[in-house]
Amino acid sequence: MKVSTPLDSGSAPATVIGDVTDRMCPSRGILEHVTSRWGVLVLIALRERGYRFSELRRAVAGVSEKMLAQTLQTLERDGFVHREAHPVIPPRVDYSLTPLGEQAAGLVGRLGRWVERALPAVEAARRAYDSR
């Protein structure tokens, strides 16, 4: 972490900025949460709209119930996902992005779209590599 103290150090507080290349910096853990296998796909899915747990599990094809619950809890604790439990019968829980989560999901979504478009180039590179 770097602590940047403003030059004009009046009442303005010091700004803490993380450093993902520093193994001790907690920002590295946050980066791992938003880039985790299921974290990425949950953020991308929630960009569309809020989801109930079971809907989200279908949208993020392949995730187990346990891994989805764990991923959502991690993203909720980090302030990226809002969990809303409705006191109805049967119980209903909705998940949506917070404003902070929308920013993260926007950047992750751009990366996802880029990868989708890079697919033919990557497959060509793999064929070249494998035939060496």
Footprint on residues 34-73 left by its own copies (CB under 8 A): 34-37, 40-41, 44-45, 59-62
Segment near its own copies (CB under 8 A), from 49-57, 64-72, 76-84, 89-97?
76-84
Binding window for its own copies (CB under 8 A); candidates: 49-57, 64-72, 87-95, 113-121: 113-121
Residues 73 and 82: their CA atoms lie apart, in Å, by 10
Inter-CA distances, 102 with 9, 14, 19, 81, 119, Å: 32, 26, 22, 9, 25
- Going by C-alpha positions, the residue among 71, 91, 95, 74 that lies closest to residue 83 is 95
Binding-site member from 4, 9, 11, 21 for its own copies (CB under 8 A): 21
27: contact with its own copies by CB under 8 A: yes
What residues have CB less than 8 Å from 129, skipping those under 6 apart? none
Binding site for its own copies (CB under 8 A): 1, 15-23, 25-27, 30-32, 34-37, 40-41, 44-45, 59-62, 76-79, 100, 103-104, 107-108, 110-112, 114-126, 128-130
